Each structure stands twice: as structure tokens, then as C-alpha cells.
Structure 1
């Protein structure tokens, strides 16, 4: 980041570089890509503003709604809306954020018994992942667009989801022999790395044989 708060992004595999100028510092906490679009946002709190770059604009939700955890799935930008955590499509119209509400508010029981609500994606399917306080574990819900509701699932078709400090990082398919299918691979804030099975609810710590703590998954599927 330079003196004018420019964000410089380098592709780890190709070396290609892009620049996101004239942005506020707090937007750098979360960044997602979709084609030629770069979107930056605050990933830890609900906000009503995003910064995006095709021509480097700031967009605000004029209706005052706050949202978090935006994610692109098959070219559509989704987010959770505060305070009921309902699902909405985000459309960027110059300097405005337009919300198209889809419904799907999680039940009070789900919200009260979880410490995390995160959107994820698997093979073009939109998912909601929750960290359950009791019994300790994780639940995955699949979005049913016809019924406009979340339906719990215990299978990902052999795929696995990866999270960096409970933020969705990517999905790997069943053709990776060293990755166990239908699991969540999660790096926690304390550096601990765990593998959680959706099938039997078991959780195992993954020991990394190097002195530094693991901080982020870097997956070919998101590069």
C-alpha cells in the first residue's frame, strides 16, 4: 500500500499485477474477484458500502441496509443482510448498491446456537455454513431457490470447503486424493488447523510441520 492508499494485487501463479486506487483502508479486509471486477469490503462487520473496481467506484446502499459476507456464485453477487441474516442479491449501479431480497432468514434457533454465519460455494451451489455452539460442530445448508429457503445437507458430493479464519476460501472437488471429501478444512484465529467431517461430525487437528502458523489456504480453484 503506497502513500495514497493504493492496493496492489499480485497473482501468485502468473505474476500479473493490478492496482485498486483511492480506496478507504478498512475495505482491504475482504477482497473478491469476478472476471474484470475487483470488490473490496469489510468482512468482519455488517456495512452498507463496498468499493469496486472496473472504473474504481464506491457504492453505497441508499436504503440504509447493512450487509456482510458478499460472494460471487455463477456471476451473481450474494450477501447476508442485517439484522435477520436474510439472503439478497447485490447489484452495483454506479455509486449505488441495489438489493434484491430473496428471503431465507435462518431460524431463531440456528442464529442463537451459532457463533458463525458464512456464505460459501460448491460447484455453483450457494451454501450457508454455521458454527454450532452446542454440540460443538458445523452445519451446512444449501440454498433452494424454488422454495426460497436453506435446507441442511451432510454431503458436498465428495467436495470439501476451505475457510481462512472462518472466511470462505474455496472448494476442491473429489478428484484430489489427499483431501477427504465432505469435509470442512478450517484455519482458526489462533492458527489451529482442523478438518471437520459433515458425515460423522468428527473433528481432527491437522499438524503442520513447519515453525510458522498456517494463515491462509491458497487453492488453484480460486486463482
Structure 2
């Protein structure tokens, strides 16, 4: 499956949820590693599913996160959640709370104000297919919560350009449920080759619907 030809949405979701982006650990105030992929007040574990596939799971407690990891066949190791502003990261933070990186997705995806659809540039996609390195600099992060859903826990330029906000919970993509560690790869196979996408989720108490088109 060539995820770089499917669409920016599938490409971005893959990078943000798979081990290719890697668990982003920082140095906490006490010198121990911590993650800011989870919200303050939550607990986190590193879930090792197999060699090189390690994901961060967020949950109300270490026990719940460890159970989710175990049910997926992984081995869990607790990791601290960074206090707000306490992680040592070289990236700066923008006025809107998004982390700054050297890559700008403005040529990749743009909101069509009239239709409300996010339009994805096919040529820019092809360039990412040739060199996906910029995606590995992206700071947006999706964290698994205790019910297997994915939630936007940290915002970067790509996530912002795609209309996401911190706290958004992703539920379905083109009608296919997104839940569990293997859900993204399964959904990507089902929608490969499509050029229009609808992402449904929850933004607080409100239903969120985001539409994308590749052209």
C-alpha cells in the first residue's frame, strides 16, 4: 500500500500514529524522561508492540493504559507526563499554542472558504512521496485514550492546517471506525485510492466533521 498517494489525510494520520514518528520523549524537570503527548493529570505508558513499534498510550491511570497495551499484545512501561511547560524541547511555541517547526504545510493543504473543504495539492503530495522527511519534523501528536480512540494531544503546523484542535477525538474516516492500535493501517487499506475524505469526531461536546479533497 502506498500511503503517500492515498491523500494527505491518510499520510498525516499514518505518520502521527505510527512508530515512524517515534515516541517523542523529553527531559522533565527532574531529569527523567517524560511525554507531553498526554494531558496533564493523565497517566502514560510506552507500549512496545514489536521491535521498533513503540506507541504512547494515555489513560486515567497507568493500570488502564497498561491493560490497553496488554490487550493489543504489547508490553507496557510507565513514563511520566511532562508538567505543563515542563518538557525540555528545542521547538518553540506559537502564539496559538502550536509548536513551531521548520516545515510549513501551507503549500500542501489549504481551506476553501466558500465550500469549507480542505483542498490538498496533489503535486505537493507527490513531492512528499519522494521525500517524506518533512513529516518527521511535524509536532502534531495523536494519543490513544483508554477507549481506543485517538485524540489530538499536541498541535503542530500540519494538524492546524488540516483544521484540527488539541482535544479533538477522531471517530471515523469515510465511515470506517478509527479505534485501536491497528485501526489506521486497516482503514487506510480500505480507502486507498480515494480522493475525497470525511473525518468525523468530537470537539468537546460538539460533533466535528472535516472534509478533504485531493486535486
TM-score scaled by length of structure 1:
0.28
More strand by share: 1
More helix by share: 2
Of the two, which has the highest radius of gyration?
1
TM-score scaled by length of structure 2:
0.29
